[in-house]
Amino acid sequence: QIAVSELADSSVNFVVRPWANIETFWNVRFDAIENIKKAFDEAGVSIPFPQRDVHMYEHK
């Protein structure tokens, strides 16, 4: 199951819920994350990271 979970300030957030039995759950989860990241890289999709602008003022 894949769905849009949020339209955020700087991103479109998805929820991905792969189904697996208890024996393969962690392998399925980690493989899904790795494959999603590889697909994003191949498509030129970057992952947004929080950014801050710092303004330095000299007090006179």
Q: What is the pTM of this model?
A: 0.66
Whole-number Å distance between alpha carbons of 7 and 38 = 23
Task: Count other C-beta atoms under 10 Å from residue 42's C-beta.
Answer: 8
Q: Is residue 24 part of a domain?
A: yes
Q: Which domain holds residue 30?
A: 2-43
Domain count, the chain: 1
**38 located within any domain:** yes
Q: Is residue 18 part of a domain?
A: yes
pLDDT in tens, 16-29: 988 899 999 999 99
Q: State which residues of the chain have pLDDT below 50.
A: none
Locate all alpha helices (DSSP H) within the chain, ordered by sequence: 25-43
